[in-house]
Amino acid sequence: MALLRMRRRHRRTRPLQEAEAYARCHGDRGNDVKLVRLPPRRPRYLSILRTGEELRQRFEERLNDREAKAS
């Protein structure tokens, strides 16, 4: 008899929608936070540094200039 009480079936609840689950976990969103859209990012300066080799050469030049100033 005790086993039957322990094995009682629990009624399953319906699946939650995403908004309902969020509200249960985090509460309602207040007016403290305002969502804003950011402007698109500006394009990178691809014309200045087109390749990794060019980047390496410029870095090497800067290191050589630094060594020359230190001497």
Q: pLDDT band at residue 3, thresholds of 50, 70 and 90?
A: low
pLDDT above 90 for 1? no
- Give CA 7 to chain center in angstroms: 44
pLDDT above 90 for 63? yes
Q: What is the pTM of this model?
A: 0.31
Rounded Cα–Cα distance for residues 20 and 26 (Å): 10
Q: pLDDT band at residue 59, thresholds of 50, 70 and 90?
A: very high
Looking at residue 54, the DSSP 8-state letter turns out to be: H
